[in-house]
Structure 1
Amino acid sequence: MSITESESLYNDLEKKSVRELLEAIHEEDRKVLPAVQKTIPQIEALVTAVAPRMKKGGRLFYVGAGTSGRLGILDASEIPPTYGVGYDLVIGLIAGGDTAIRKAVESAEDNEAMGWEDLQKYHLTEMDTIVGIAASGRTPYVVGALKKARENNILAACVTSNPNSEMAKHADIAIEAVVGPEFVTGSTRMKSGTAQKLVLNMITTTLMIQLGKVKGNKMVNMQLTNQKLVERGTRMIMEELGLEEDKARNLLLIHGSVKKALDEYRK
């Protein structure tokens, strides 16, 4: 039996008090960070391989089902507004399509051919990268996508919570954050999902820094999609150039991003 399907270390959950349940869940969550830390060499290898591909026009695809697919889509959808890149740079795919983001699509993840078929809509090249996400490490939708990716000389990686999984067999780089049995037996939306979220954050944040989308520690390419971000961008320009608030805001709104505003002002 896989680790993610192993029996919970806790029993008679329905008999515990709310406080006991919360303390126990938190105790299990504490195991996630050390598990993710052990995967840093593999994450480093992936980012190091993906960054130069992206600089040549490559894209990063997340492929998953259920919670794993949703987390991939979440991470991908946050990159454009945060770093001012297009929605076609990091792309998340989920078994069952967009409907499955909110509602489970029965048996979609069991179709091994469908993952690759969904990817074909994007006209893949050898500069692209496929990252399969599955806590179990054996989801057919994801495994099939990784198999075909490698057959077509496309970099393939995986994020899983089980060692030596079927996914890992078909991945050039396997990121295995082994967090142990879930608090509720088999409920991988818990520790496994938390580990996946952390790993995906690390991958894309590091990639965006490598691609020059961060200056110092600031999101200088963020999209100005709401008042909060306009105010944040204004403060960045004020700090960087020593301008008054009104002048900094006007400069930002004229040029559309902190980076463009700074570059134009310094010409």
Structure 2
Amino acid sequence: MELSNLTTEQRNKNSMSLDQMSIMEALHTINDEDKKVAQAVEAVLPNVNTSVERIFKALAKGGRLFYVGAGTSGRLGVIDASECPPTFMTPPEMVQAIMAGGNDAFFSAVEGCEDDENQGAKDLEVKQLSSNDVVMGITASGRTPYPIGALKYARKIGAYTISLSCNDNSEISRHADCEIEVVVGPEVLTGSTRMKAATAHKMILNMISTTTMIQLGKVHENLMVDVHASNYKLMERAKLTIMEITQVSYAEAEKVLKKTNHEVKPAVVMIKTGASFKEAAEAINKSGGYVRQAINYILK
């Protein structure tokens, strides 16, 4: 009965005849409900902003961000964390995901693991959590024991805690310094929070990681200047990024990129200022990783 009272578990009046709809009718119904997600996310932007501010401060001082969840929520954390190293050249330990049931649970459900509050704390304890870190517990229902246990442990350690759920007055919110309750309403398929709830959480996680990395100087204009050029596609993107910012030819971008061990930032600074790789790297370091400031530092 406690579960049935949650918004995420209630029946959607717009999809009561879902089993009798044509394919196109069902698609329109799902699409109409999905349109409500962005509005729900917009309503919680102030708390998302607070979260980003605290995460940025923590990462800038060498702290780490941990996403903790079970099932779909845990998988979303894994997806967002795993994209940070190739997109922003972050060290793997900077943004991490901890999922109930371990890595195997990403591919197939590990029954019952999400109900163990103590395991949520234990899995976080293994990471040698400190007060410099930030922990985000992700759960659509807001009542999943595993991430709640993780947040309880994090608060004992003194780490900043954030909760991400899809119900008002969620249980997990009571254990967070900042709560994000993005209420998207009942799902088209009752209780299937892999739908609207997961979409909302994916949007918010994208916002958090991207805006945090912007604050860390890993974006210039709207370009990925810290992209890890580890394959052909990313290598080409790196060259195109340099060409876009500096207006040099493809051949010149390729030439300079080789001198910088395929790092975009120093290549841009070198072309813009005429500096050597060593001088560009030093300017970037002294400017906290920001390309604009590095260029101004050399040209001043």
Q: Compute the TM-score of the two structures, normalised by the length of structure 1.
A: 0.97
2:263 counterpart of 1:257:
yes
Between stretches 74-83 and 222-231, larger displacement belongs to: 222-231
The separation in 2 between residues aligned to 1:38 and 1:232, in whole angstroms, is 35
Q: Is the 8 A contact 1:230 1:249 kept in 2?
A: no
* 2:10 alignment counterpart: 6
2:203 counterpart of 1:198:
yes
The separation in 2 between residues aligned to 1:184 and 1:178, in whole angstroms, is 16
CA shift for structure 1 position 226: 2.2
2:189 maps to which of 184, 187, 195: 184
Q: What is the percentage of aligned positions where both structures have the same residue?
A: 46
Offset from partner CA, 1:40-94 (integer Å, 9 cap, x none): 0001111111211111111100000000000000000001100111111110111
The separation in 2 between residues aligned to 1:244 and 1:7, in whole angstroms, is 58
Q: Is the 8 A contact 1:73 1:92 kept in 2?
A: yes
The separation in 2 between residues aligned to 1:102 and 1:124, in whole angstroms, is 26
CA shift for structure 1 position 243: 2.1
* 1:111 alignment counterpart: 116
Offset from partner CA, 1:92-125 (integer Å, 9 cap, x none): 1110000000000010000001111111121111
Higher Cα radius of gyration: 2
Equivalent residue pairs, number: 267
The separation in 2 between residues aligned to 1:142 and 1:236, in whole angstroms, is 39
1:36 maps to which of 38, 41, 44: 41
Q: Compute the TM-score of the two structures, normalised by the length of structure 2.
A: 0.87
2:166 counterpart of 1:168:
no
The separation in 2 between residues aligned to 1:131 and 1:236, in whole angstroms, is 32
* 2:294 alignment counterpart: none
2:14 counterpart of 1:19:
no
Q: Is the 8 A contact 2:129 2:154 kept in 1?
A: no
2:178 counterpart of 1:149:
no
The separation in 1 between residues aligned to 2:44 and 2:127, in whole angstroms, is 29
- Structure 1 unpaired stretches of 5+: none
The separation in 1 between residues aligned to 2:139 and 2:258, in whole angstroms, is 42
Amino acid at match of 1:114: Q
Offset from partner CA, 1:111-161 (integer Å, 9 cap, x none): 001111111121111110000000000000011111111122111111100
CA shift for structure 1 position 247: 1.8
Which of 1 and 2 has higher RCO (CA within 8 Å, sep 6+)? 1
Instruction: List 4+ stretches of structure 1 deviating above 6 A.
Output: none
CA shift for structure 1 position 170: 0.4
Structure 1 or 2: more helix by fraction: 2
- Structure 2 unpaired stretches of 5+: 276-300
Give secondary structure in 2 for the equivalent of 1:113. helix
